[in-house]
């Protein structure tokens, strides 16, 4: 299996919609990641699919939850020059859980629709 095939197995078929997920799974996975980062600040930690399945609710789409969290993490990196960090609110996690997105191809730069994210977060607040 080449790198592109492995990418698609782990991240979905490029151009297809990323399934919406339950924000409680995003909240659980994000909290778990924060705990791992605190315990292992040097990094280098791998987390198995089986462990993710225990962290999230039964039947959760682990690929979609982790993909959405990675894109939210990219948003945080983009905001670093003007945002000192902190915890994502439930509104942010709810918006990221539902906003429309597609799986990106292996070669594509990872992007996030910032304006779409903000609009979805505002809709969650209403």
Asked if residue 12 belongs to a domain, the reply is: no
Asked if residue 103 belongs to a domain, the reply is: yes
pTM for the full predicted model: 0.73
Asked if residue 13 belongs to a domain, the reply is: no
Taking the CA atoms of 11, 45, 27 and 59 in sequence, report the sign of the dihedral they define.
positive
Asked if residue 107 belongs to a domain, the reply is: yes
H or E stretch at 73:
helix 62-79
**SS3 of residue 59 by DSSP:** coil
Residue that is written with structure tokens 């859980």 in the block:
97
CB within 8 A of 95, min separation 6: which ones? 117, 118, 120, 121, 123, 124
CB within 8 A of 12, min separation 6: which ones? 18, 63, 64, 67, 103
Asked if residue 78 belongs to a domain, the reply is: yes
Asked if residue 72 belongs to a domain, the reply is: yes
Asked if residue 2 belongs to a domain, the reply is: no
**SS3 of residue 17 by DSSP:** strand
Asked if residue 58 belongs to a domain, the reply is: yes
Range(s) of the domain holding residue 37 = 19-125
**SS3 of residue 53 by DSSP:** helix
Reported as half-sphere exposure (CB side, CA atoms, 13 A), residue 110 has a value of 14
Q: What is the DSSP letter of 102?
A: B
Instruction: Count the domains in the chain.
Output: 1
Q: What is the DSSP letter of 88?
A: P
Give, for all 126 residues of the chain, the pLDDT tens digit. 777 777 777 778 888 899 999 999 999 999 999 999 899 989 888 898 899 999 999 999 999 999 899 888 877 777 766 566 667 788 888 888 888 888 877 666 556 677 777 777 778 777
């Amino acid at each position: 299996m080449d790198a592109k095939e492995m990418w698609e197995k782990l991240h979905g078929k490029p151009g297809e919609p990323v399934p919406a997920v339950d924000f409680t799974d995003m909240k659980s996975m994000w909290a778990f990641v924060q705990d791992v980062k605190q315990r292992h600040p040097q990094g280098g930690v791998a987390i198995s699919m089986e462990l993710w399945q225990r962290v999230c609710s039964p039947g959760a789409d682990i690929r979609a939850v982790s993909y959405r969290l990675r894109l939210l993490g990219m948003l945080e990196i983009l905001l670093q020059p003007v945002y000192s960090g902190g915890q994502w609110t439930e509104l942010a996690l709810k918006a990221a859980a539902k906003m429309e997105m597609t799986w990106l191809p292996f070669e594509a730069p990872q992007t996030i629709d910032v304006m779409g994210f903000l609009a979805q977060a505002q809709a969650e607040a209403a």
